[in-house]
């Protein structure tokens, strides 16, 4: 049986009916035992009520040299927006060796998309297991991944032209050297596959954007230094009394200094961006933002400054609703697909 939001779309609801869609509000991954390289990271929520997840952290997670257990937490909301039309789209491309690259995600504009447009980041992926240039060192397998200074995906302003919805997405993947000579030689030449999933929402109402950022200097106290998450209180105000809000972009930074004073990347233990909250029916969406990127482990190489920047958008439409859900659990190292309630 098709989920209710899919049936509503297929049925061709009248402008007064709430159109439902699934929107990603948060994600977090954490390793049980140690910090690791990033070989694969995937979070991708789809409108067929499935979500693709994936995490690989090199040979010490896959069983070749060791094993570790991953744990995930996923937040999403079933939003209902009267008079809206929605569509989803994605793009996959190869970037590198530069740390930042931009691509365009496009979709055919659905009928009735003639008012305001919002674009939400509903998924992303980073995959190092791709073909490399001839200059890439032969003695390092890119599928093993790299140590990192952080990563992120951020959407620009969506546009509509000639029947096409488009939005630019900027991917940031900051590989940086650590304690492996073969990996360190590969990083300046590394190519990485990235992807971004977007939910376009065409609506009649108002919108409010917010940028929240912060940083924490963690005290180096190995093993397993204490590294609490970074938090912020969110308030987004608009003209319409009802609204929904979520993430349009994020960047997580992990700037390391080795004990010898050199700048470096590092193995990562946990990372995520999570948004919780609700609209008050009086024009204000309020809630909490949690961001983390940590390296706490049995072996730590130096000081960590963690940082985050998260962009949010509230769309205000009279009668809009949001029903949040949080899932948590574990899955085998690698990729998996979850079917959500209603799918």
SS (H, E, C) 240-290: CCCEEEEEEEEEEEEEEEECCCCEECECECEEEEEEEEEECCCCEEEEEEE
pLDDT at 343: 61
Euclidean distance between CA atoms 63 and 222, whole angstroms: 25
Q: What is the pLDDT of residue 71?
A: 98
The position carrying tokens 């997670």 is 61
d(CA 225, CA 70): 19
**3-state SS class at 150:** strand
Task: Determine the 3-state secondary structure of 206 from DSSP.
Answer: strand
Torsion sign, CA atoms 125, 131, 135, 141 = positive
Residue 229's contacts (CB-CB under 8 Å, 6 or more residues apart) are 290, 291, 292
* Residue ranges, the chain, pLDDT below 50: 1-15
Note the pLDDT of residue 15. 44
What is the pLDDT, as a whole number, of residue 18? 87
> Measured between alpha carbons, how far is 315 from 8 in angstroms, rounded to an integer?
20
- The whole-model pTM stands at 0.94
């Amino acid at each position: 049986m098709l989920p209710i939001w899919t049936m509503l779309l297929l049925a061709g609801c009248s402008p007064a009916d709430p159109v439902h869609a699934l929107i990603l509000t948060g994600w977090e991954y954490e390793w049980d035992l140690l910090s690791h390289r990033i070989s694969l990271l995937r979070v991708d929520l789809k409108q067929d009520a499935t979500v693709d997840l994936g995490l690989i952290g090199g040979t010490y997670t896959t069983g070749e040299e060791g094993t570790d257990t991953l744990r995930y937490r996923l937040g999403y909301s079933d939003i209902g927006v009267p008079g809206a039309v929605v569509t989803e789209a994605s793009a996959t491309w190869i970037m590198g060796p530069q740390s930042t690259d931009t691509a365009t995600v496009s979709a055919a504009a659905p009928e009735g998309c003639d008012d305001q447009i919002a674009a939400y980041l509903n998924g992303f992926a980073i995959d190092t297991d791709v073909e490399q240039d001839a200059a890439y060192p032969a003695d390092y397998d890119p599928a093993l991944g790299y140590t990192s200074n952080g990563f992120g995906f951020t959407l620009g302003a969506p546009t509509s032209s000639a029947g096409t919805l488009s939005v630019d997405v900027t991917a940031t993947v900051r590989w940086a050297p650590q304690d492996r000579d073969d990996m360190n030689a590969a990083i300046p030449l590394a190519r990485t596959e990235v992807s971004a999933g977007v939910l376009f929402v065409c609506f009649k109402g108002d919108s409010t954007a917010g940028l929240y950022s912060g940083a924490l200097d963690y005290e180096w106290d190995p093993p397993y230094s204490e590294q609490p998450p970074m938090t912020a209180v969110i308030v987004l105000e608009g003209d319409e009394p009802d609204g929904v809000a979520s993430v349009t972009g994020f960047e997580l930074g992990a700037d390391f200094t080795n004990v010898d004073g050199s700048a470096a990347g590092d193995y990562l233990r946990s990372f995520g961006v999570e948004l919780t909250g609700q609209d008050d029916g009086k024009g204000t969406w309020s809630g909490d933002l949690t961001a983390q990127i940590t390296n706490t482990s049995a072996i730590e190489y130096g000081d960590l400054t963690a940082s985050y920047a998260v962009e949010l958008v509230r769309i205000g439409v009279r009668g809009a609703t949001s029903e949040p859900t949080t899932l948590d659990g574990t899955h085998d190292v690698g990729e998996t697909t979850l079917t959500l309630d209603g799918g």
